[in-house]
Amino acid sequence: MQIEFEMTDDIMIVNLDGELDHHYSSVIREEIDKTIDTFHTKHLIFNFEKVSFMDSSGIGVIMGRYNKISQLGGKLLITGCSEYIDRILEMAGIYTIATRMKNVADSIALIEGDNIEKGAKSENEQ
């Protein structure tokens, strides 16, 4: 299991690569939390495109990051899941707390679109 981070403003994209099981989940968890703290990340995009295997340990990783990110008022988006990873995430109700997206570009657009809207709104309110 390898992990790679990409930053765009206050959005962090977490690119996972390989097999996500209980053995790797603790390292993955630590790496993500450390990076969130270092970069004062607000929003998180999980990119599962290169995840070849995942069991229910992945649910814990996502839930835990949701708890962290939502405290900061951020959003959690998930993209690139294979059919059966999707099935596991659906079973656990992950898509009630995170948004399933087609790709990373759409995910960024959604978050940034939100920001603009909010900005526009507060301008209107002035």
Give residues in contact with another protein (CB under 8 A).
19, 21-23, 25, 29, 53-57, 59-61, 63-64, 83-84, 87-88, 91-92
Query: What's the closest the beta carbon of residue 56 comes to another protein, in angstroms?
Result: 4
Query: What's the closest the beta carbon of residue 93 comes to another protein, in angstroms?
Result: 8
Is the CB of residue 48 less than 8 Å from the CB of residue 85? yes
Which residue's CB is nearer to another protein, number 39 or number 84?
84
Query: What's the closest the beta carbon of residue 11 comes to another protein, in angstroms?
Result: 23
Which residue's CB is nearer to another protein, number 28 or number 101?
28
Q: Which two tokens stand for residue 80?
A: 């690139």
Cα 99 to its chain centre, rounded Å, is 9
Distance separating alpha carbons of residues 109 and 122, to the nearest angstrom? 20
Which residue's CB is nearer to another protein, number 37 or number 114?
37
Pair type for strands 76-79 and 11-20: unpaired
Pair type for strands 11-20 and 2-8: antiparallel
Give the total residue count for the chain: 126
Question: What is the helix, strand, coil percentage profile of the chain, to 5?
Answer: 55, 30, 20
Which residue's CB is nearer to another protein, number 33 or number 114?
33
Query: What's the closest the beta carbon of residue 26 comes to another protein, in angstroms?
Result: 8
